[in-house]
Amino acid sequence: MWEEPHFEETVLELHDISLLLNYERASTEPRFRHTKLREVTTNEFSTVQFLTPHWAQVTRPKIGLVFDRAQQAESFQDEPDLPSNMLPNTIPANLSHLSSKELETYYWQVRNHDGCFTTVTLFQHFIDLFPEFTRIRVRNVEKDKTLVYSTLASDRLIVEMYLHEPHTVSMSAVLPDNETYITGDDPTMTHAVLGFGPPGSTIDTILDLASLQFGDVGRGNKGRSLFVLESVFQYANRLEKFAKSSNFKKPKLSQRIQGTPNDDWLRAVAHRAKERWEKRAAVPWCGHCGAPPPRDRDLKKCSKCKAAWYCDADHQSAAWTFHKHFCKEVSDKK
């Protein structure tokens, strides 16, 4: 008697794999690899002169950052780039006032310059490493109400839109490479995100892994998270913080994207993230930034569910706005 073949179901937690993908991508981003922050300005630069006269003419809110590519000793070549090591060993006076959150924002803002298609491609490479019938569990929160469902990873869609008149302009320069990266300078910019929905239904959840290219307004989960994972309704409202208008209601939808620059690097990032996912039972990661345990200590464990870990109390506090809705002990008491 013929029997229907059995496929072992693989289920990926969307929030968790997003943490891993973003960490592995940002910490090895080639454009800013081993760079140290030299200057941050909202006006004119004081430590370097750029041949970009229109920068002075920008009347919208703007942020400019200058980085020096540091020469790393061979023993430190594999050290990840992090907000905590973005400053030079001797911190200049003009940067000594920066808080850890400001450094975190600048770190993600520069690494997300034109990052939307990069993150979409990375997600695609990652999913391609899993079996055909892999599922994704989507969890998000809207007005303190949780939404949880499982859908085929292959059913995700790329949602491509135009943002008209971005509210801010950011420029990052890397020396001595003389490379400059600008976001929001053009009247219209293309932005792409990933859309998910329950089986047989329309998109109801948006994942924007490059949202912090717009600064703090790109933080998800009530301004605490390093990416956006939220309902379509919430994201539509968020776009008003990114730009004056958009065509989000009539976007271009597609299922796959062709290769982007640094495709080999993105494939390597996807493989590292997959290895970490598969070792999740033995080696956890921070529920805020996706970092693995440091060499000299363990991560901080959630005292309620004992199933989530964090770099420190600040990261635990930042993640709580999301985690509290899924923390087992909290849920059991409701």
Do 168 and 292 belong to one domain?
Answer: no
Taking the C-alpha atoms of residue 287 and residue 309, their distance in angstroms, rounded to an integer, is 6
Do 19 and 112 belong to one domain?
Answer: yes
Residue 3 maps to a domain:
no
Do 106 and 122 belong to one domain?
Answer: yes
Residue 6 maps to a domain:
no
Exposure b/e, 246-264, CB count within 10 A at least 16 = b? bebeebeeeeeeeebeeee
Do 294 and 274 belong to one domain?
Answer: no
Residue 62 maps to a domain:
yes
Taking the C-alpha atoms of residue 261 and residue 186, their distance in angstroms, rounded to an integer, is 21
* Tens-digit pLDDT profile for residues 38-47: 999 998 888 8
Would the pLDDT of 1 be above 50? no
DSSP-derived 3-state class of residue 79: coil
pTM (2 decimals)? 0.93
* Tens-digit pLDDT profile for residues 91-143: 999 999 999 999 999 999 999 999 999 999 999 999 999 999 999 999 999 88
Residue 139 maps to a domain:
yes
Share of the chain above pLDDT 90, in %: 80
Do 239 and 285 belong to one domain?
Answer: no
Do 302 and 203 belong to one domain?
Answer: no
CA distances from 330 to 220, 291, 305, 323, 324 (A): 22, 25, 8, 10, 7
Do 218 and 321 belong to one domain?
Answer: no
Do 245 and 285 belong to one domain?
Answer: no
Do 176 and 264 belong to one domain?
Answer: yes
pLDDT band at 52 (very low <50, low <70, confident <90, very high): low
Do 116 and 28 belong to one domain?
Answer: yes
Q: What is the pLDDT of residue 53?
A: 65
Domain boundary among 249, 278, 307: 278
Residue 241 maps to a domain:
yes
Residue 315 maps to a domain:
yes
Do 219 and 320 belong to one domain?
Answer: no
pLDDT band at 57 (very low <50, low <70, confident <90, very high): confident
Burial (Cβ within 10 Å: 0-12, 13-18, ≥19) of residue 219: buried
Residue 99 maps to a domain:
yes
Domain boundary among 278, 294, 326: 278
Count of the separate structural domains present in the chain:
2
Do 23 and 116 belong to one domain?
Answer: yes
Domain enclosing residue 161, as ranges: 11-278
Domain boundary among 242, 263, 278: 278
Residue 294 maps to a domain:
yes
